[in-house]
A and B are shown apart, each in its own frame.
Chain A
Amino acid sequence: MIRRLIQFVSAFAGNSYLLGFVRGTIYQGPLKSVCFPGMNCYSCPGAVFACPIGSLQAVLTQPGALHSIAVGKPEGIIFFYVLGFIFLIGSLVGRLLCGWVCPFGFIQDLLHKIPTRKVGIPRQWRLMKYAILVVFVLLLPLFLRDGFGVPWKPSADTAAVEHESPSDVKATGKTLFSEDPGSPWFCKVICPVGTLEGGVTLVSYDRISGRNRFSLGFLFYFKLSVLGVFLVWIVMAKRPFCRTVCPLGAIWGIFNKVSVWRMHVDTSACTKCLACRKVCPVGCSIFEEPDSAECVRCLDCVPKCPKRCISSGTGRSAAVARPVSKVVSESPP
């Protein structure tokens, strides 16, 4: 119940620009410079923060991105801000925010409550999110331009602004970027979050209000189909987006093994009753691998364990769960 409340509050806080829903516009104020710790598309009318995965791609899509990062140009150094933001959260709490803060995780948790036939997800499909992270978030935005196949090189546009300081750019009103950036391919062909939070809401507003500002192309209907598939899958399976697609979860999952905040299982007391697995929102067997990259650290399993084998914390003391004998002796006769 507390987790649901925190999920709701964080989803609301991340999308608290209510005027955007009323006017059908997107907030572009100073808070958009701050990344949100979860998957929350910045094209959602209510979004007040930036999506970290979208921001990462935005940096990499700029012509000469590698060069900008390597030589320390201001538009390149922002890469360290976005990556540092993601890594910092990962190194502190691993995937904890997937379970407690991410708005799309919250949506998945709620939709999965719809009573219908439930299905599992093959174990191997979990690896897909790492491939998506490398190919669609890093490589394609970096190397594939809209013209298909134009490799990275410092562009003429980039060279033109090379000698201008950021203050000059602000004064002249020019941007630091070429007008021909690559595409954030993950957002463009896969991510259902943007379609749900941004596409559907903005287009619905547009059509209902009769403004008809937007012309919808093949891409919109393609993304709508992708969203439809995901929605059906989410109702039937536990958090399929988090387990098979989410690049942010993939990064934070890697940190689960080394983060400051960890999950711990007293394996000597565990009877493998599977009570933890039944309540797990990602179908994880925590007794097999407490630091599993799949665990979103929702802590739903902790009170459900009949032997109280599962604990979490930062220090060595938290690693030792209460022994079974002690638990038994404390229980009422």
Chain B
Amino acid sequence: MKPLRVLLVILILCVFVLGVSLGDIGPVLHKATQICLECIGIG
């Protein structure tokens, strides 16, 4: 496996971990579920 590919995976993993640890995941995706019904035309 090329070192650059490993570096790419590690970098992306860091971005992911940053999002998981500091992002407010629950409210955003909860809101997304609510918006979704409107998006498919159900009111």
Contacts and interface: CB of A to CB of B under 8 A. Distances in A.
A216 B24 CA distance: 33
Nearest to A316: B1
A194 interface: yes
Contacts, number: 162
A176 B24 contact: yes
Interface residues of B, number: 33
A175 B20 CA distance: 19
Q: How large is the interface on A (under 10, 10 to 19, 20 to 34, 35 or more residues)?
A: 35 or more
Interface string A60-102: 0110000000001011111111111101100110000000000
Contacts of B36: 41-43, 54, 184, 187, 194, 198
A217 interface: yes
B19 to A, nearest CB: 3
- The 9 nearest A-B residue pairs measured at CB: A81-B19, A84-B16, A220-B41, A58-B32, A80-B19, A219-B41, A78-B23, A74-B24, A77-B23
Interface of B: 1, 5-6, 8-9, 12-13, 15-20, 22-33, 35-37, 39-43
Interface of A: 26, 28, 30, 32-33, 41-43, 50, 54-55, 57-59, 61-62, 72, 74-85, 87-88, 91-92, 166, 169, 175-177, 181, 183-184, 187-188, 194-195, 198-199, 202-203, 214-223, 258-260, 314-316
